[in-house]
Amino acid sequence: MQTITLTRPDDWHLHLRDGAMLRAVLPESARHFARAIIMPNLVPPVVTLADAVAYRGRIMDALPEGMVFEPLMTLYLTEGTDPADVARAHASGLVKAVKLYPAGATTNSQSGVRDLARVMPVLEKMAEIGMPLCTHGEVTDPQVDIFDREAVFIDTVLDPLRRRLPALRVVMEHITTEEGVAYAVEGGDRLAATITTHHLILNRNHILAGGIRPHYYCLPVAKREKHRLALRRAATSGNPRYFLGTDSAPHVDALKEHACGCAGCFTATNTLSLLAHVFEQEAALDRLEGFAAQNGPAFYGLPVNGGKVRLEKRPDPCVWPKGIVTENGPVTVFDPGFPVYWHVAT
């Protein structure tokens, strides 16, 4: 039997939600991951240091006995964000990044940024103190085709911002295009990109051909096959500028299978097995540890984890529950559409 042992990985982009949903999904991540960057797009959002401290407390309270997990908190950037609060959050050590949601770009982004000029004092402070900015990199202009929104964001928002504030450290979250792959390596150690598990597996045909598949709908939406292939090359390249951020984003089935379905793929349960499958297909199993456990901490200036996880390639395919149970209804677990033989053994 083939086995691989990895440093315990981290998830550099995760949605845990709150309340009953938090209690249901947290064990799915904590089972395999030591730490995660926790997205702040709650309703209302996690805007201040005090919000982040309170949310962190709720996450720790929801962690089942015996599980070890460290939430790395983020602040949701609004046009009212106070630079001094961001500086205090950075100094506290509990908050690792500030998240930019262009208003209207995605789930719970209504409180996000409409005019970047209004948050410039915050961004200047972040550049000064070394607080990273995590970007949801899509423009919201309805004139721009949804499949072009990432590339247009890079050209019209991100690149001008980085020219204006070269010291600002930026994580391009969940890149989905070859343009994103190319741009992410242009900024040396001040720029990096996360890649999700599902964007290594899906192209837009998976969502739309032969019937609409709401559980494959997420934002940024999966693109053409050539972009998926560029993401696979990037993730498996060994380049430290790319690392795992699953963007595992639970929504109850009733809101996914809906006339106006929510965006998000719930991959926390099976991400590690799926990644082993993808990296093996790319003849890069030896680079999985870098992608999932080393490159992220290097960018964020954190130590790599002490523990290990072992994966075993067994003759029988993995069997995951179709969904997980929450008090609000079931949440479908991401179905890759092919059998996967890499089982997480520990």
CA distances (Å), 318 to each of 92, 201, 312, 343, in order?
41, 17, 11, 6
Tell me whether residue 113 is exposed, middle or buried, using C-beta atoms within 10 angstroms of its C-beta: 0 to 12, 13 to 18, 19 or more: buried
CB of 315 to Zn ion, least distance (A): 35
Q: Pick between residue 98 and residue 218 the one whose CB is nearest to ligand DOR.
A: 218
Rule CB under 6 A: is residue 134 a binding residue for ligand DOR? no
What's the number of CA atoms in the CB half-sphere (13 Å) around residue 267?
Answer: 28
Dihedral sign from CA coordinates of 18, 20, 25, 31: positive
**Between residue 231 and residue 250, which ones bind ligand DOR under the rule CB under 6 A?**
247, 249
Q: Does 302 bind ligand DOR (CB under 6 A)?
A: no
Q: Which of 271, 214, 226 is nearest to 245 (CA)?
A: 271
On the question of a cis peptide bond just before residue 220, with omega within 30 degrees of 0, the verdict is yes
By CB under 6 A, residue 45 contacts ligand DOR: no
Nearer to Zn ion, 101 or 342 (CB): 101
> Contacts with Zn ion: how many residues (CB under 5 A)?
1
Return the number of other C-beta atoms located less than 10 Å from residue 173's C-beta: 27
User: How far apart are CB 218 and ligand DOR at their closest, in Å?
Assistant: 3
Residue 219 binding: pick among Zn ion, ligand DOR, none (C-beta 5-8 Å cut-off by kind) = ligand DOR
Q: Quickly tell me which residue has 């039997």 as its tokens.
A: 1
Binds ligand DOR by CB under 6 A, chosen from 184, 218, 276, 284: 218
Shortest distance (Å) from residue 39 CB to Zn ion:
5
- Rounded to an integer, what distance in angstroms lies between the CA atom of residue 116 and that of residue 98? 14
Q: How many residues bind ligand DOR (CB under 6 A)?
A: 11
Specify whether 148 is catalytic: no
Q: Does the protein bind Zn ion through residue 150 (CB under 5 A)?
A: no
The catalytically annotated residue of 247, 253, 286, 335 is 247
Listed ranges 115-123, 183-191, 204-212, 239-247: which one lies at the site for Zn ion (CB under 5 A):
239-247
Distance, CA of 291 to CA of 194 (rounded, Å):
9
Cα–Cα distance for residue pair 317/46, rounded to 1 Å: 40
d(CA 340, CA 84): 48
106 counts as binding ligand DOR under rule CB under 6 A: yes
Q: Assess 208 for contact with ligand DOR (CB under 6 A).
A: no
User: Does 207 engage in binding with ligand DOR (CB under 6 A)?
Assistant: no
Nearer to ligand DOR (CB atom), residue 245 or residue 297: 245
39: left (phi over 0), alpha (psi -120 to 50) or beta: beta
- Shortest separation between residue 176's beta carbon and ligand DOR, angstroms: 11
**Burial class of 344 by CB neighbour count within 10 A (0 to 12, 13 to 18, 19+):** middle
Dihedral pair phi/psi, residue 323, rounded to 5°: -155, 165
Binding partner of 136, given ligand DOR, Zn ion, none, CB within 5-8 angstroms per partner class: ligand DOR
Tell me, residue by residue from 243 to 262, as one string, x for binding to Zn ion by CB under 5 A and - for no binding.
----x---------------
Between 48 and 107, name the residue whose CB sits nearer to ligand DOR.
107
230: contact with ligand DOR by CB under 6 A: no
Cα separation values, 338 from 245, 246, 247, 326, Å: 22, 19, 21, 26
What is the binding site for ligand DOR (CB under 6 A)?
Answer: 15, 41, 106-107, 136, 218-219, 247, 249, 263-264
What is the binding site for Zn ion (CB under 5 A)?
Answer: 247
